[in-house]
Amino acid sequence: MPYRAPADEFQFILDKVVDFGRLSLVKRFADVDSEVVAAILAEAAKLASDVIAPLDRCGDQQGALLKDGCVKTSPGFADGFAALAEGGWIGMLAAPENGGMGLPLSIATAVNDMMSGACLSLSLNPLMSQGQIEALEHHASDEIKSLYLPKLIDGSWCGTMNLTESGAGSDVGALRTKATHNGDGTYSITGQKIFITWGDSDFAENICHLVLARLPDGVEGTKGISLFMVPKIIPNSDGSLGAANALSVVSLEHKLGIHGSPTCVMDYSGATGWLIGRAHEGIKCMFTMMNNARLGVAAQGVGVAEAATQRAMAYAQDRVQGMPLAGESGSICDHADVRRMLATMRAETFVARTIALSCGMAIDLGHEDADQAVKGAFLIPIAKAFGTDIGHEVAQMGVQVHGGMGYIEETGAAQYARDARITSIYEGTNGIQAMDLVSRKLGDGGDAAFAILDEIEGFAEAARAQMPDLAKEVWSAAETLREGVEAMITLPLNDRFAGAVPFLRAFARVLGGHYHLKAAIAETGKGKRTKLATFYIRRLLPEHSALLAQARLGASDLYALSMEELSAE
């Protein structure tokens, strides 16, 4: 079954669940009303469904190759990228004065969701450029902005970020790449980076690498790291291309999935670079890009979940097997357990998508509302971790719906499971996201969390008149989560870390109950969304209680068994 981007679903969530109309209060987005959004979503859905999605299978079967030091991309990818560039989608977040669309992050998140569902491998490329554009807009000199932004925004050049090294993964501060001043305003960059997404391609005129490196006077750890722009080809002052820089693609990683996305090992041998931001503040500059990317990765997880769900739904309705106890179609969708899986896939995808869109909305509103900015920051690790966990889990469930055929590559179900797996690892593993949630994000004594819980409980109270049973369940879950937050902020840090993952999942569970309840109320308690909300609130929301019980346990039992005992047969 071909993927179809669900534009109507995005429109419903934006209008009825995350209250997109509030964005008219933000000056920079005053002209982005519901009608404009509908047009944007329709155009993006058409591109994703008709142009990008047909490339997905080919990208998996004929992945990117490295030949004579250059990357050869999958058949059709160049045309797909050109369509994205021509439509202005690469610069959809960029400021209009730089040639971008200036769209709200919430809308860009919806578009990235669609493109990821269509072809995750290709959609990674513009996501990298989007993050780099934002980093340059915030931190680069005017000279760098005027030279690089127009080319990145129109898709002539592509952007990457270079953090990871073989000895410095999540611990970025352990990196060994060096930078020395050349005395002319440029720097010489030497070192090797791994896991560089879209580190090269055969359809971009230039590849612009943002590279973390340490200056001679940089202290050890993250506080001594600086950020540099290191282009594949050094541009002249007028934007034309000059000499090749001293960098190369050493090899491509052989990956479980996303075969169409070239993941490069990059070598810098005295390559010429330009400082972005202030010396020794590279992590601060890079985090501008990474926060953008984390919400983008959340959308990737949701997009894959949507695609896997669509394929499973189609297969379950066509596959005749056994003697179902309900229904007359004879298809496996009439079996209770298959129906359970399909309902779970649809309910979970809705929650993950709405968390991501709500996060984007809060960040958009945060341009003029400090409380919303705090909410957006709080939701980022939940959006990233839950969205990508659900992408992986739903894709795995899609394989299960297919039965034995799901394990056969020809059905396409296995590709979603392989592709989605990386999303819970890159841009900060989901364990790190959870640790961030229980440490930095609860560092205000739980105020941001309590504000969200106040919102959930307030809505549930108002909803009691229309849907008393479901509203009561959501309110009670929020109150239990409130007690969980109160308990977490009293624990020592490592005890918090021990319970971080179940705590994050519990928070997402309660957010899910809230969003499903809002969807049901929006259709006045009658219709498919009410039925799906009932399924979620009665069957999945109760998990929050057990998750919070785990979160409170602390770390002692994790260390009770020594490594020798754990390793013993």
- Is there a contact between 179 and 225 (Cβ–Cβ < 8 Å)? no
Say how far apart CA 147 and CA 238 lie, in whole Å: 7
Looking at the DSSP bridge assignments, the partners of residue 192 are: 267
Q: Let me know: does 348 contact 365? Beta carbons within 8 Å.
A: no
Q: Nearest-CA neighbor of 208 among 223, 219, 198? A: 198
Which residues are within 8 A (CB) of 211 and not within 5 positions of it... i.e. 6 or more apart?
162, 177, 189, 193, 227, 228, 229, 230, 268, 273
**What is the end-to-end Cα distance of the chain in Å, rounded?**
46
Residues 6 or more apart whose Cβ sits within 8 Å of residue 68: none
Q: Is there a contact between 200 and 264 (Cβ–Cβ < 8 Å)?
A: yes
User: For residue 31, what are the contacts with CB-CB under 8 A and spacing of at least 6?
Assistant: none
Residue 369 contacts by C-beta under 8 Å, 6 or more apart in sequence? none
- Calpha distance 544→549 (Å, rounded): 9
Looking at the chain, the number of H-run helices and the number of E-run strands are 19, 11
Could you write out the DSSP letters of every residue in 134-201? HHHHHHS-HHHHHHHHHHHHHTSEEEEEE--BTTBSS-GGG---EEEE-SSS-EEEEEEEEEEET---
461 a catalytic residue: no
List, in sequence order, the alpha helices (H) in 444-541.
447-463, 468-488, 493-498, 500-522, 528-535
Distance from C-alpha of 13 to C-alpha of 518, rounded to nearest angstrom: 9
Phi and psi dihedrals of 416, rounded to 5?
A: -60, -40
CA distance 174 to 359: 31
Work out the angle at residue 476's Cα, subtended by the Cα atoms of residues 467 and 354, and round it to the nearest 5 degrees. Answer: 70
Q: Which of 427, 461, 523, 569 is catalytic?
A: 427
- CA dihedral (334, 416, 14, 474) in degrees, to 10, reads 60
Give catalytic residue positions. Answer: 427
